[in-house]
Amino acid sequence: MDSEQGTATGLVRVVLPYHLRVLAGVSTEAGSEVRLEVALPVTIGRVLDALEGKYPVLGGTIREYGTGQRRAFLRFFACEEDWSHEGMDKELPEAVAAGKEPLLVVGAIAGG
């Protein structure tokens, strides 16, 4: 869990909605994940920092520029719980930080 620089990190699994997997150019197979080195303690904000660092095209698509807030029609789920309203700085469950469970970014059921 430690990087070469000695900073503690977790290998976090993230499941993106289909349209963002297409945009990022990653596998579009159902359930496919991206894996990210995230500094501990793992928070949604840090996961998104790492995600946008690895895939800059996702900048602004999950959280708003300026406010840094979650876009209204996206949700965050982890360990079968809704983390959408927990803020960007709350520590995610150990199972997510340890890579045992993924962080799910889910498109809300909306639109036409």
For another protein, the binding residues (CB under 8 A) are 17-20, 22-23, 57, 59-62, 64-66, 71, 73-74, 107-108, 110-111
As a whole number of angstroms, the distance between CA 95 and CA 22 comes to: 27
Distance of closest approach, residue 24 Cβ to another protein, in angstroms: 9
Distance of closest approach, residue 96 Cβ to another protein, in angstroms: 22
Spatial CA neighbour of 43 closest among 93, 6, 77, 85: 93
Q: What are phi and psi of 67, to 5 degrees?
A: -80, -25
Q: Which is nearer to another protein, 16 or 97 (CB)?
A: 16
Distance of closest approach, residue 21 Cβ to another protein, in angstroms: 12
Q: Which is nearer to another protein, 42 or 62 (CB)?
A: 62
Cα R_g (the chain), whole angstroms? 13
Q: Which is nearer to another protein, 1 or 18 (CB)?
A: 18
State the burial class of residue 71 (Cβ atoms within 10 Å of its Cβ: 0-12, 13-18, 19+): middle
Look at strands 74-78 and 81-82 and give their pairing. Answer: antiparallel
Q: Which is nearer to another protein, 1 or 108 (CB)?
A: 108
Distance of closest approach, residue 97 Cβ to another protein, in angstroms: 26
